[in-house]
């Protein structure tokens, strides 16, 4: 047996032994996801067990170096782990902005001390992170941010207001963009800093969305002390890291695919709900909408497949994450508009059993943010025009 | 299978690129048109293509072919979309070969496939009878009589119908229009008594014929495949045709895009390059994204054909539908962004829409394939 075959065998056995039965079903529309952190209340013992076991093995961050508690897997092994988890339908043990965002940035730009301090708790699910990027006057024009950190000699004092902080009220630490040189050109005077959300002066306030949920906060910073050693990379060089992180975020959103897509196709849902005659959906206009969407969705799915295959073959064109983010989110919005039409007026019921407490309508409303968060569709089109098409 | 070209396919693509750019650029289309060429393609170009081995790509090795597959063939077709090159490649080397290979007897394959590969024989597929593609509605009758059949009826939009040596004719030997069963395919020599070919020049400068059959008598050996059971082979042949038309439309979309992008970097208005205007940048970026999706869906449908995937029919329809949509977008955006000059005959950009529309409509447009895909998906 080759090394990889042995690895597969051992992985299969380990998962069989360590993945609780109740963790062997997919997370649907966020239900049952585990985010970890100091304030996390596990929904079951199994959820905690699964996170702890995977965290101890470093498989919550399979390709991170073992010296920080990561799995240390090479690409081929990582792929096998994913396949073996998929085989038993094991759910992700830990969803984490630490793993998806600040961790990769620390690995690339952080000091040895910062890596030692922050990476192990991320991997074990002990510390949950949030992102302090957008501000009331710095949305698409992120580099125009005004929240500032003033050098006080042995520490910084930060003041300002962040907005769209995902789970800011539930997170333990924030990675935050702050202006450290007000006189420099806007991209050059920014630093990326880390601080504990329990630091005096940090106040997250949930924002209620049109969907009724509050996944985001506005976060007020009033004379917040930030230690000197919590600057990632160099002072005033934060923009480069921020851009790197934004690319990661785009890939993450683009790669997430379609919200709650489940195993049923749109056509199957429509056929069950509306009915068919001679194999044709009874509502012919809806049938056209559904077919148009499914054709585009198939083409999009093949495109994510092709982009991945090209990257593997070393033929990547780069910057395609902007296209995937743009197209994927617009497609997701269309999907829910079509689903709502299929469901009809029952799906408009805000609370109650008939609509599963308005699940469809609320999800549709939430998808409207997909093409805004992580860079609007228009910003993605700008990126394509400038970076790929070379249009000045 | 990974959604990328392998080394051999990549080489074929590059060789097609080089050959077509040198021997059949877009300007050649103008030359043929202005010379009043009625065949619709250059008679000197086809033998050169045959010499390159292109007529043999889909022919199995045991019949003297290269068996290089649909992905390989489509690299040439895609390039011929970029150069708007007319040739018997689609009707003869793709549709003809596929139909004969799928339905033909050992004798028919031995006799015909080698001749096609060697450039000695051209084929035209006669399917449509009305203005909209719908092979289940075939009504042309073939009645059994004596030691053969008698064919009556009319076919239209028969690509290369006025030049091909042999017509593959889809007829009805049983049932009524709308039935899948009862369709039979025949190989008929174009010069057979009772066949009248009315040549029509299409907007792309190519030739498509209206072919009328009046008491055309053919022998039993003219039957291609089993009597009454021809639909399966016909349908699979059309799937291949549509996947390759999608590849051609991809070439057209890409070339329209590339030329327009170049123009946006040259043309100045209001004292600035028009490519610096965000109104146009966003249109270009959206257009580029759509073409990226097209590349994936075309390759997927061709790989499915090569693998004999059961999803081939659905994938062919997805690919053709998507490419119809994006070719329409591409050729329209190309003219609009070029502005007035895009409307002139002198400028080549206007030629792309003229080839795109017939290629879109041939063997089913967006609506046909969206409908077919929905039916195949159970709604």
With pLDDT > 70 as the criterion, what percentage of chain A qualifies? 95
Closest partner residue to A279 (CB to CB) among B292, B295, B375 is B375
- Cβ of B282 under 8 Å from any chain A Cβ? yes
- Tokens for B126, please give them: 């006669």
Contact (CB<8Å) B379/A270:
yes
Average pLDDT for A128-137: 96
What confidence tier does A257 reach under pLDDT thresholds 50, 70, 90? low
- Strands B166-172, B123-126: pairing is parallel
CA–CA dist B120, B109 (Å, integer) = 14
This prediction has a pTM of 0.91
The residues of chain B that CATH labels 1.20.140.10 are: 232-376
From its phi and psi, is residue A160 left (phi > 0), alpha (psi between -120 and 50) or beta? Answer: left
Q: Smallest CA–CA separation between B375 and chain A, in Å?
A: 6
Mutual angle of helices A3-18 and A75-87, in 10-degree steps: 40
Contact (CB<8Å) A296/B295:
no
- At the topology level, CATH places domain B124-229 in Butyryl-CoA Dehydrogenase, subunit A; domain 2 (2.40.110)
Q: Smallest CA–CA separation between B289 and chain A, in Å?
A: 6
The residues of chain B that CATH labels 2.40.110.10 are: 124-229
Q: What is the pLDDT of residue A29?
A: 66
Q: What is the pLDDT of residue B274?
A: 98
Q: What is the pLDDT of residue A254?
A: 60
Contact (CB<8Å) B379/A281:
yes
Superfamily of domain A257-388: Butyryl-CoA Dehydrogenase, subunit A, domain 3 (1.20.140.10)
- pLDDT exceeds 70 at position A258: no
Q: Smallest CA–CA separation between A246 and chain B, in Å?
A: 19
The CATH classification number of B232-376 equals 1.20.140.10
- Which range is most confident: A93-102, A260-269, A358-367, B318-327? B318-327
Q: What is the pLDDT of residue A253?
A: 65
Contact (CB<8Å) B292/A303:
yes
Report pLDDT digits (tens) over A321-345.
899 999 999 999 999 999 999 999 9
Listed range (A165-179, B27-41, B55-69, B127-141) with the worst mean pLDDT: B27-41
CA torsion, points B185, B188, B190, B196, in degrees to nearest 10?
Answer: -70
What confidence tier does B224 reach under pLDDT thresholds 50, 70, 90? very high
Best CATH choice for the domain B7-121 from the list 1.10.540.10, 3.30.70.100, 3.30.750.200, 1.10.3720.10: 1.10.540.10
Whether residue B60 contacts residue B113, with contact meaning beta carbons closer than 8 Å, is answered with: yes
Query: What does DSSP assign to residue A92?
Result: P
CA–CA dist B379, B365 (Å, integer) = 19
Closest Cα to residue A332, out of A359, A368, A292? A368
What confidence tier does B264 reach under pLDDT thresholds 50, 70, 90? very high
- Which range is most confident: A31-45, A242-256, B91-105? B91-105
Bigger pLDDT: B201 vs B262: B262
Whether residue B197 contacts residue B161, with contact meaning beta carbons closer than 8 Å, is answered with: yes
Q: Where are the domains of chain A?
A: 3-93, 129-237, 257-388
Q: Is A299 helix (H, G, I), strand (E, B) or coil?
A: helix
Chain A interface mutation, best of B246, B315, B366, B379, highest count of A Cβ atoms under 10 Å: B379
Give Cα separations from A204 to A12, A168, A200, B16, B322 (angstroms). 42, 6, 12, 61, 46
- pLDDT exceeds 90 at position B37: no
CA–CA dist B118, B32 (Å, integer) = 25
Superfamily of domain A129-237: Butyryl-CoA Dehydrogenase, subunit A, domain 2 (2.40.110.10)
Which spans in B265-365 are helix H? 278-307, 312-338, 349-361
φ, ψ dihedrals at A207, nearest 5°:
-110, 125
Closest Cα to residue A125, out of A61, A76, A188? A61
Q: What is the pLDDT of residue A259?
A: 52
- pLDDT exceeds 70 at position B135: yes
Closest partner residue to A267 (CB to CB) among B321, B371, B374 is B374
Contact (CB<8Å) B379/A384:
no
- pLDDT exceeds 70 at position A260: no
């Amino acid at each position: 047996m080759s090394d990889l075959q042995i690895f597969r065998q051992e992985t299969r056995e380990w998962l069989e032994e360590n993945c609780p039965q109740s963790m062997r079903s997919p997370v649907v529309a966020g239900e049952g996801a585990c985010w970890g952190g100091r304030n996390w209340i596990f929904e079951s013992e199994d959820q905690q067990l699964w996170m702890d076991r995977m965290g101890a093995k470093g498989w919550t961050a399979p390709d991170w170096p073992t010296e920080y508690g990561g799995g240390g897997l090479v690409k081929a092994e990582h792929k096998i782990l994913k396949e073996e988890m998929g085989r038993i339908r094991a759910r992700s043990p830990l969803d984490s902005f630490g793993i998806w965002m600040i961790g990769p940035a620390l690995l690339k730009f952080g000091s040895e001390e910062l890596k030692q301090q922050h990476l192990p708790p991320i991997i074990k699910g002990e510390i949950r992170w949030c992102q302090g990027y957008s501000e009331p006057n710095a949305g698409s024009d992120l580099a125009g941010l005004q929240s500032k950190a003033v050098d006080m000699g042995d520490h910084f004092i930060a003041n300002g207001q962040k907005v769209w902080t995902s789970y800011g009220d539930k997170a333990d630490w924030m990675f935050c963009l702050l202006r450290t040189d007000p006189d420099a050109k806007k991209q050059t005077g920014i630093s990326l800093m880390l601080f504990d959300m329990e630091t005096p002066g940090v106040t997250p306030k949930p924002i209620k969305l049109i969907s009724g949920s509050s996944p985001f906060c506005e976060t007020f910073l009033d004379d917040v002390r930030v230690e000197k050693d919590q600057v990632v990379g160099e002072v005033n060089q934060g923009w480069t890291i921020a851009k790197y992180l934004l690319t990661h975020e785009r890939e993450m959103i683009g790669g997430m695919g379609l919200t709650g897509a489940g195993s049923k196709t749109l056509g199957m849902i429509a056929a069950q709900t509306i009915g068919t005659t001679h194999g044709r959906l009874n509502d012919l206009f809806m049938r056209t909408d559904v077919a148009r969407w499914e054709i585009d969705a198939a083409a999009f799915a093949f495109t994510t497949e092709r982009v991945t295959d090209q990257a593997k073959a070393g033929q990547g064109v780069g910057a395609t994450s902007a296209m995937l983010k743009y197209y994927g989110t617009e497609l997701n919005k269309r999907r829910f508009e079509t689903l709502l039409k299929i469901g009809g007026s029952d799906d408009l019921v805000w609370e109650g059993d008939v609509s599963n407490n308005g699940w469809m309508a609320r999800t549709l409303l939430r998808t409207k943010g997909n093409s805004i968060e992580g860079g609007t569709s228009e910003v993605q089109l700008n990126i394509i025009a400038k970076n790929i098409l070379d249009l000045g | 299978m990974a959604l990328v070209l392998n080394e051999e396919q990549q080489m074929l693509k590059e060789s097609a690129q080089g050959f077509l750019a040198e021997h059949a650029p877009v300007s050649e289309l103008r030359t043929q048109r202005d010379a009043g060429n009625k065949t619709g393609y250059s008679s000197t170009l086809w033998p050169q293509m045959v010499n390159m081995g292109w007529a043999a790509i889909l022919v199995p090795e045991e019949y003297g072919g290269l068996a290089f597959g649909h992905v390989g063939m489509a690299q040439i077709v895609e390039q011929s979309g970029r150069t708007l090159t007319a040739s018997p490649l689609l009707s003869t080397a793709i549709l003809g070969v596929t139909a004969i290979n799928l339905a033909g007897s050992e004798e028919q394959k031995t006799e015909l496939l080698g001749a096609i590969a060697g450039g000695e024989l051209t084929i035209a597929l006669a399917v449509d009878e009305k203005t909209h593609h719908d092979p289940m509605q075939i009504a042309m009758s073939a009645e059994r009589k004596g030691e053969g059949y008698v064919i009556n009826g009319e076919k239209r939009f028969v690509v290369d119908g006025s030049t091909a040596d042999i017509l593959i004719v889809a007829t009805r030997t049983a049932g009524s229009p709308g039935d899948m069963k009862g369709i039979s395919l025949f190989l008929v020599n174009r010069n057979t008594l009772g066949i009248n070919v009315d040549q029509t020049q299409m907007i792309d400068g190519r030739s498509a014929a209206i072919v009328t059959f009046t008491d055309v008598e053919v022998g039993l050996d003219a039957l291609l495949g089993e009597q009454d059971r021809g639909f399966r082979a016909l349908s699979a042949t059309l799937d291949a045709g549509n996947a390759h038309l999608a590849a051609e439309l991809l070439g057209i979309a890409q070339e329209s895009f590339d030329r327009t992008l170049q123009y946006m970097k040259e043309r100045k208005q209001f004292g600035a390059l028009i490519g610096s205007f965000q109104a146009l940048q966003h249109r270009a970026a959206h257009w580029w994204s759509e073409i990226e999706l097209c590349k994936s869906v075309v390759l997927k449908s061709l790989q499915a054909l090569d693998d004999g995937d059961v999803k081939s029919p659905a994938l062919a329809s997805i690919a053709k539908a998507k490419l119809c949509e994006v070719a329409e977008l591409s050729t329209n955006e190309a003219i609009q962004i070029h502005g007035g000059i895009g409307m002139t005959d002198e400028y080549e950009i206007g030629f792309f829409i003229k080839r795109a529309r017939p290629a879109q409509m041939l063997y089913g447009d967006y609506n046909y394939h969206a409908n077919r895909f929905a039916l195949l998906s159970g709604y």
